[in-house]
Each structure stands twice: as structure tokens, then as C-alpha cells.
Amino acid sequence: MTTIFQRHFPWRENNDFQLLVDGGEIFPAMLASIRAAQSQIFLEMYLVESGSLLDQFIISLSDAVQRGVNVYVLFDGYGARGLSNRDRQRIIQAGIHLAIYNPLRLGKVRRNLLRDHRKLLVVDTAQAFVGGMGLTDAFDVDVNPQTFWHDAAVCIEGPVVADWSAVFCRNWRYWARQRVLPVGGVNADVEGVSAGQAGRVVGGRHFGALSIHHFFLKRVRNAERRVWMMTAYFVPSRRLLHALRKAAKRGVNVCLLLPGSKIDHPAVRYAGHRHYYSLLRAGVRIFEYQPRFLHAKVLMCDDWVSLGSSNVDRWNLRWNLEANQEIENSDFAARTRELFETDFAFSEECYLNTWQMRPRYRRVLEWFWGKVALWLENIGSRIRRKR
């Protein structure tokens, strides 16, 4: 278990990564894996809310316990506010081990800002799922066929799954005050046509978003053909803005895929709008997704892809515990490129000349929410320095 204490995990060869898009692909695959579990299940989630989707997971996890599987569930104290007392009791009474990450406490402002934003399922140390999804009906295609949130995840098999187990176990040990060791299936090299994919877990210790941001910046600066970024909340750091503009100016195809008007936090969208002018002027292409809320978090530079929980925004760089799967493989990059291109077709592109003609009221909103974002960031910086 020495990997639990590593700051960064190494690159590991011979994995199999499968891209899953939207709840219609993500949740059936996760539930099938849970139903096939033989020894152990780790589930770590930020956004959890009682409803039809969570009910399916509780039933499947409870059935796993009845088969003799050890089930460990870690929910964030803020993100799981929508978990009803009834469902909490169902989880506990079923024999599922439940722990809460950083429960909210009155008067503990600094402490309450620290959140576990990861979305992770590991089954038998043989298969893992990582992405941006949450266990709420907002992601459920059956419950909300027209308005379900657009997201992406990756199904993982191979040696890198052991690192994901280590990521969970370290967090579990701190918040559950209980040590758990991974047991179960084989995580040896995957054999077959799609084998040979290299991967690395990023965000295994402390504030994982910092590592994710660092490695993304490095890839942007070294990109030769393509830098494509899909994120739900575009509040980038100054260093990232500079790197994106510089990449576009040297001829790299830089595209941002961001939410349109359908978003759960419109203020964040307006705060991000204040960066559009400088990016468009540098040659960055910006697309706003129209059909539904774009909640996915996918970063792509040439044949490198980083996919997981991080929006690479200023807030989660400072406060959130994040984790992404990095993948270096031309076939997986091609599949990811297809996802982007499909979403580009359902988006409205922003152009410099029309952007400059936007209504005055929108400029005021951008200015106001931009100021609020900076104010919150400054307060956060002062609070963090006092910790």
C-alpha cells in the first residue's frame, strides 16, 4: 500500500480505457459492474441527491452486501445535502460502510469551504469509473430525457485501477477513521485489441486540482496540433489564459467548449465571459453548447486526454479535492475528438466581431460577476493563508 502516500502516481502501460457519454452509458455500466462485484466496492461522490437514480444504486449496493461484498461509500458533506435521512438509514441498515467527507459545521467557514469533488467507483480492484457525473436525477436520461446534464466518464481496466483504489483508501482512512486495504480482482495488464493504453492518475494526494492544472498547463505549452477544453465552469487562472492565447498565436488549434444559457450557475458563466474578448482576439475558438447543461470536464492536447472531476477553475484549484485520469493513446484521443466534434455541431460559436456587439446589459453582468469572482477569490486567499 505504499502507493497511497505517493504525491504523483507514475504512468502505467497496458490499460483499457472506454469513453462513456451521458447517463445513458455511464450509469448502466457502473451498475453492471456493481452487480458483478465479488469482493469489494469503493464509491466516492460529490453530488448526491435522493431520487430514482440514487435508489438504483442503493438497491444494487445492498444486493452486493447480501452476496458478501464489502461496500465502502464516501459522500461529500456539502454535495450530499440532498441525501434524505430515509436513504441514509437504508444505506447504513443494508450493511454498507458510509462516511461523510468534511461534514458541515456552524461557524467553521474556512473548514466548510474544503470539499471532495471527486466522482469515483472502484470494483474488485479490477475496474474503475471516473468522470464528472453525480448521483442525482439531473443526470438521469430516463427521468429527464430532454434536460439531463451532458457529461462524460471513463471506464478503466488494467494496472492503473490499483492507483484509484489507493486514492480512495487514503481518503477513507482519514474520514472514516478506519483502514481498508484493496482486495479482489486482478489488475494485471489488459490483453486484447484495445490494450496498450498508457494512463496516469492525477490528484492522489492533498489538493489534486493543483496537479491537474500543472500537467494541463505543461501540455498546452507543448501542444503541436490541438488544445481542446470542455468544462462546465470557465473561471481560468491567469497562467492558463496566457497559455491558451500563446498556443493559439503560434498556430495550435485551440477550442473551448463551454455551457450556453442552460447552466445551473449563470453567474459563473457571466464571470467567464469577461475573458472571451482577449481569447477570441488571440485566435482561440469558443463554442457554447446549446441542447442541455454541459457538465463534462475533458481536456485534450494532441493525443493526451485528461478526464475526471476537475473544471480547472480557480475555485477548485484552491479548495477542492479532485482526481483525473490522464490517457496517452491515439485511439482514445480519436474517440474523444469525436465527442468534441459532435458537441461543436450542437453549439453556437462566438466570433470577435459579434461578441463586441453584445448588449450593454450583458457587459454589465460580466463586469459585476467578474468583480464578485475576484472578490471571492481574494477572500478565499486570505482565509487559506490563515489556516
Strand partners, 258: 288
Q: Are strands 298-301 and 304-308 parallel, antiparallel or unpaired?
A: antiparallel
Exposure of 77 in the CB half-sphere (CA atoms within 13 A): 15
Per annotation, catalytic residue among 16, 76, 87, 124: 124
Per annotation, catalytic residue among 97, 295, 313, 343: 295
| C-alpha torsion 170→173→176→177, nearest 10 | -150
* 151 is an active site residue: no
* 142 is an active site residue: no
* 189 is an active site residue: no
- C-alpha–C-alpha distance, residues 1 and 19, integer Å: 28
- C-alpha–C-alpha distance, residues 215 and 240, integer Å: 11
Per annotation, catalytic residue among 119, 213, 273, 275: 119
Per annotation, catalytic residue among 273, 297, 313, 343: 297
Q: Over the Cα atoms of the chain, what is R_g?
A: 20
Q: How many CB atoms lie within 10 A of CB 58?
A: 18
Per annotation, catalytic residue among 97, 117, 150, 275: 117
Per annotation, catalytic residue among 55, 302, 303, 331: 302
* 116 is an active site residue: no
Phi-psi domain of 182 (left: phi exceeds 0; alpha: psi -120 through 50; beta: other) = beta
- C-alpha–C-alpha distance, residues 241 and 229, integer Å: 12
Give catalytic residues, as residue numbers: 117, 119, 124, 295, 297, 302
